[in-house]
Structure 1
Amino acid sequence: MAEEKKKGYPKIPRANWFLLRDKFKQRTPERVSPSYVASALSMGEASASANIIPPLRAFGLIDDAGKPSDLAYDWRDDTKYAEVCKQILEATYPQELRDLFHDASAPAKNVESWFARDAKVGQAAARAYAATFLMLLEADLAKAKEQNGSKPKTTNAAGKPSKATAPAKAAKAVPAAAAPTAHEVAKPVNEHGGSGDDGGGRRGFSPKLHVDIQIHISPDSSPEQIDKIFESMAKHLPLKG
């Protein structure tokens, strides 16, 4: 028996959906190409071609050549946004799903379970399908602006979030606080607070003073920075030997 073919449903990140809509509001492009999407959403062309162009076609916002449809012009209109979402839902999703979940307050887990069963996909794909469906079902621009405050996550060619590279922290050498000089360290002190020599040729009680110096160096420090730290120690703390 031939294996039943898996179904597929559109999926598009919420932030990318609204950011692209803002671009259309500013100026609707003559053609929505992978290059256009990559520039608009700060992602690679391969990712744009694999993850953004297909749902736009599935929703009827662009044709096979990438030309925006009349629906795309209505999509960018705030007063028509809810109606556009309704049209997309009716044209894209089966009646059963829309009958079961007809309100944006529907439990996301239940919607995910439906997609997992119907499309025979794993948890990650079912979650992405459900998120897109619920976003269209919500069709509320006011809520969208509240929930879409963070920057959109760019995706790589595999459709996974790209990891942002954090700038390397420059190692900072923390100056020692008023370190004693070698002369002060080596000079003995008697029990009365004076020097070891009591002035009469006799040497009094001369305890030895031992000083421990701890230096905390960041693991991100380069070899040159570490050398500079020890050069500074040698300069300001000249020790015998």
Structure 2
Amino acid sequence: MASEISYPKLSVTNWWALRKKFQSNPNIKITPGFLAMHFEMGEDSARTNVLPPLRAIGFIDDDGRPTDLAYDWRDDEKYGEVCDVIRRTVYPQELNDAVIDPADRVKVETWFKNKARVGEASARKMAAFYLMLCEAVIPGEQRNGKANLETAQKPKENKSRPVTSRIEQGSLFAEDKPQPQTIHVSDSKDVITVPTPAISSSPNIQITIQIQLSSEYTPDQLDQVFASLIKNIKKLQE
């Protein structure tokens, strides 16, 4: 009878929570009591479900002390390298060669069911952990949808800048003499005046319009934007 083969089933949630603990205190000793206290689980569950995977992937020694690999795991720059080391040392080349796209979860689950001789629930847990190693992406950073053994690049900086158009309407108490409406464009020396119909006994009104424009706009494009704005204001006055 073939010997039973087991693979890590460490949950993704515990993976990131434990990494955070290592980052705050790299010299902690991982024991069932420590895991039960910090991860809301019983000591028996920690002893059965968490300690064996941590030893299997090489993060702690027999005494529960962090290894050099666990120290590297804390470093964002070395995270992808650590995931690659675990994949190559814990899993057979047969699996690593077969999994080209980490999105093919069903294929990976089937492999674990057949090779580890486990049920669907255990196969899903094994596959989830393995695929996380394949992606090697730290949460919050940009994903590219494929296996990436390096830290993902940061999102591009938004180059858009706000341009404020300020419409100020002065006192309009004259019955027959309409006061002009003036538009001041920030970052511009241009002042555009638009005639405004007379409004008797109206209070002072000030309206601020926020327009989000790209810094890559040319002067001609900016002129078109504000020309359109003035045109729409005139329509409202008619």
TM bucket normalised to smaller:
0.5 to 0.7
1:27/1:66 CA distance change after superposition, 3 Å: same
User: 3-state SS of the aligned residue for 1:91?
Assistant: helix
Separation (CA, whole Å) in 2 of partners of 1:100 and 1:137? 12
1:116/1:144 CA distance change after superposition, 3 Å: farther
- Report how far residue 28 of structure 1 moved: 1.7
- Report how far residue 95 of structure 1 moved: 0.2
Separation (CA, whole Å) in 1 of partners of 2:138 and 2:113? 28
Q: Which residue of 2 aligns with 1:134?
A: 131
> Which one has the bigger strand percentage?
2
1:144/1:114 CA distance change after superposition, 3 Å: farther
Q: Which residue of 1 aligns with 2:22?
A: 24
Which protein has the larger Cα radius of gyration, Structure 1 or Structure 2? 1
- Report how far residue 68 of structure 1 moved: 0.5
- Amino acid of the structure 2 residue aligned with 1:38: A
TM-score (normalised: structure 2): 0.57
- Percent identity at matched positions? 47
1:83/1:34 CA distance change after superposition, 3 Å: same
Separation (CA, whole Å) in 2 of partners of 1:45 and 1:135? 26
Q: Contact 1:103 / 1:138 at 8 angstroms: preserved in 2?
A: no
Once the two structures are overlaid, the 10-residue window that deviates more, 22-31 or 6-15, is 22-31
Quote the RMSD (CA, aligned, Å). 1.8
- Report how far residue 29 of structure 1 moved: 3.4
Separation (CA, whole Å) in 2 of partners of 1:26 and 1:103? 34
Separation (CA, whole Å) in 2 of partners of 1:137 and 1:81? 12
Separation (CA, whole Å) in 1 of partners of 2:4 and 2:36? 29
Q: Which residues of 2 match residues 136-175 of structure 1 at below 5 A?
A: 136-142=133-139
1:138-163 deviation per Cα after TM superposition (whole angstroms, max 9, x unaligned): 110035899xxxxxxxxxxxxxxxxx
The match for 1:97 among 95, 98, 111 is 95
Separation (CA, whole Å) in 1 of partners of 2:19 and 2:120? 28
Separation (CA, whole Å) in 2 of partners of 1:144 and 1:118? 33
- Amino acid of the structure 2 residue aligned with 1:116: K
Q: Contact 1:24 / 1:76 at 8 angstroms: preserved in 2?
A: yes
Q: Which residue of 2 aligns with 1:125?
A: 122
TM-score (normalised: structure 1): 0.56
Q: Contact 1:104 / 1:137 at 8 angstroms: preserved in 2?
A: yes
- Report how far residue 30 of structure 1 moved: 3.5
- Report how far residue 6 of structure 1 moved: 2.2
Q: Which residue of 2 aligns with 1:186?
A: none
Q: Which residue of 2 aligns with 1:63?
A: 61
Separation (CA, whole Å) in 1 of partners of 2:27 and 2:117? 36
User: 3-state SS of the aligned residue for 2:45?
Assistant: helix
